[in-house]
Structure 1
Amino acid sequence: MQGVISNDAAEPAGGRGAQRFAAADTLRTLNRAGTVAGIDVAGAQLLRIGENAVYRLSDRIIARIARTAAYEPDARKEVAVARWLQGQGYPAVRALAIDQPIVVDDRVVTFWDVVSDKESYGSTAEVASLLVWLHRMEPPTSLELPSLQPFARAELRIDGNNWFGSEDRNFLRGRLGELRAGYADLEFALTPGVIHGDASVGNVIHDDAGDPVLIDLDGFAIGPREWDLVVTALYYDSFGWHTRQEYDAFAKTYGFDVMEWSGYAILRDIREFLMVTWLSQKAGDDERAAAEARKRISALRAGSDRRDWQPY
């Protein structure tokens, strides 16, 4: 059985029953999860807060805390995927060999090996190389990977975030409906199969030997391979975060240029929208993130240039 601790006294953030997800709140959750797992979390260092709060622990351990227990199926899948990939010799982050995930304080906690003591991200070509390998793999039926649900988290992020005013929430709900319709009409060029779900240079890091390793496995699914390719494309095309040379290296290594596919613009728009709803989760606790989220929502409304979006 996974460890489960109820916490009826969890602090609400106000409105819509959401909990705070700031450093102090997630550290309390980490302390309780460490007790359940038998892991010493003393001196835990907060690395970042986004979809998850990520902590570095002693003994080269990473702890990931998801925002709500609604993400428990994704966390359970993520651990199972990591163990499958490890068995196949695929270079991905390794889940600790303990009974996990752990549900505590209505949040989900998982524990992972540290990939490297240095923060060195992969190149676009290395991302493509890992995707070529991954997209050729056949997961076992026992893994029971779900079909890609591209908008599932968007609904949670919009409806569960009391930072939004009613006007912005209504706009985002309406835009979500438009994008759903556009996605339903897509005709994909590549054969569907196993996908990472959020493939980018930010989710490929170098291990201590300098080799690229895939991280953040909670988005694994069965779906269109184009979904894994469009992120690098829009980082170049929409935001200018990659150079043309870096994008060309990605497309050449993979062997397919998603920007030349007829459905590219729809997937690009969907990904941009999801980036906005993701960042908005941080807005209630971080004024810098709030300012960026406001700017991004304004850009969606006006259809204006995205070149001033800042990476998070």
Structure 2
Amino acid sequence: MISRSGGGPDGGGTEFTAEGLAPVLAEACATAGFDAHGAEVLRLGSNAVYRLASSPVIVRIARDPSVLTEMGRAVNMARWLEAQDFPATRVPTSVAQPLVVGGLVVTFWESVQEREEYATVGELADLLRRLHWLEEPEALGLPYFDPLAKLAASLEALEGVSAEDRTYLEERAASLAKDYDRLDFVLPFGLTHGDANIGNVLHHRDGHAVLIDLDGFALAPREWDLILTAIYYDRYGWHSKAEYAEFVYRYGFDLMNWPGYETLADLRELMMVAWIGRQVTVSERSAAEFARRMRSLRTGEGRDEWSPF
């Protein structure tokens, strides 16, 4: 069930700040039967994420109003994973969602715990190994992951970057598209999280690790769920050698030994740069990071200076 109130398909001009979103949060919570008073802002980026003070609930408001179908699928994915007894974030059973309020898409999630405590790289490997054993939930109609289409859409949406930077990114994407089409994947094709990294695995209040951010689930080569951990270690130094070795041991496959690793790494990296590029007009920190990453792409140096987002 979807509740529509005010605004148009572009979000009705709502300013995507804590102050601008306050009426959206209040109306969405009232519709879902929650109290928005005292809600804490956890993040304000592609999504505004709030922790409610009155209930163990996380509220997520998407900046992009076109993600209604995607978020509906994420809610259904959470319910399916719960039925499989898979450790992932849950949705409140009492709420019909997603909601559309002021032209923005709002979803509600059970709070994992009172503070964000990230799990270990080894626990991420355990979750992915278990996830990749699951059969495709055909009733959910998961999409096939097309990284080239996703990258093209991100590049098309770039604003506030120079024509020179845009041209460079587009030419690099075209070159990588040819290399990607020649890849020979060796892991089974099937259910993937889509953004599997240490930032999307939290410790539950009872101690076990859970997978969060379910809106990227798709059908794809499983290598896509391993690439971020590999490049976080290999290219950016965000994981130690010991952490990556633990990840490989517990998952059972070392992506860096696969001949297609560099191509997949280059493509995933370009997607990361394009994502940051879409934030340059709303965040000085993002603009500085985008410039740093563009220098690395051009020179091949300085990747160890990248900041995680």
- Shorter-chain TM-score bucket reads over 0.9
| CA distance 1:175–1:33, change in 2 (3 Å) | farther
Aligned residues: 306
Of residues 148, 154, 160 in structure 2, which corresponds to 1:163? 160
Task: Tell me how far 1:11 sits from its aligned partner.
Answer: 6.5
Following superposition, the deviation at residue 136 of structure 1 comes to 0.2
Cα 1:197–1:68 shift into 2, 3 Å: same
Alignment of 1:153-302 (within 5 A): 153-302=150-299
Q: 1:7-46, aligned counterparts within 5 Å?
A: 7-8=7-8, 20-46=15-41
Partner Cα separation in structure 1 for residue 17 and residue 158 of structure 2: 14
Structure 2 unmatched ranges of 5 or more = none
**Secondary structure at 1:64 match in 2:** strand
Runs ≥4 residues deviating over 4 A: 8-12
Q: CA deviation at 1:186?
A: 1.1
The answer (yes or no) to whether the contact 1:283–1:290 under 8 Å persists in 2 is: yes
Taking a change above 3 Å as real, the CA distance of residues 50 and 110 of structure 1, as seen in their structure-2 partners, is: same
Question: Take 1:29 and 1:267, find their aligned partners in 2: how far apart are those partners?
Answer: 39
State the SS of the aligned residue for 2:51: strand
SS of 1:307's equivalent?
A: helix
Aligned partners of 2:16, 2:173: CA distance in 1, in Å? 25
Name which of structure 1's ranges 29-38 and 198-207 shifts more when overlaid on structure 2.
Answer: 29-38
**Aligned letter for 1:87?**
A
Q: Which residue, 36, 39, 47 being the options, matches 2:42?
A: 47
Give the whole-Å Cα distance in 2 for the aligned partners of 1:170 and 1:42: 46
- The residue aligned with 2:60 is 64
Structure 1 residues 155, 73: CA separation in 2 closer, same or farther (over 3 Å shift)?
farther
Match of 2:83 in 1: 87
Which residue, 130, 136, 140 being the options, matches 2:133?
Answer: 136
Question: 1:54 & 1:198 partners in 2: Cα distance?
Answer: 18
Cα pair 1:283 1:293 within 8 Å, conserved: yes
Give the % identical residues.
Answer: 43
Distance change (3 Å), C-alpha of 1:27 and 1:304: farther
Tell me the distance in 2 between the aligned counterparts of 1:220 and 1:166: 33
- Asked if structure 2 preserves the Cα contact closer than 8 Å seen for 1:196 and 1:221, the reply is yes
Kindly tell me: are residues 120 and 272 of structure 1, through their superposed partners in 2, closer, same or farther at Cα, counting changes over 3 Å? Answer: same
Q: Does the CA contact (< 8 Å) of 1:55 and 1:62 recur in 2?
A: yes
- Alpha carbons of 1:39 and 1:135: their partners in 2 closer, same or farther (altered >3 Å)? same
SS in 2 for 1:54: strand
Query: TM (normalized to structure 1)?
Result: 0.91
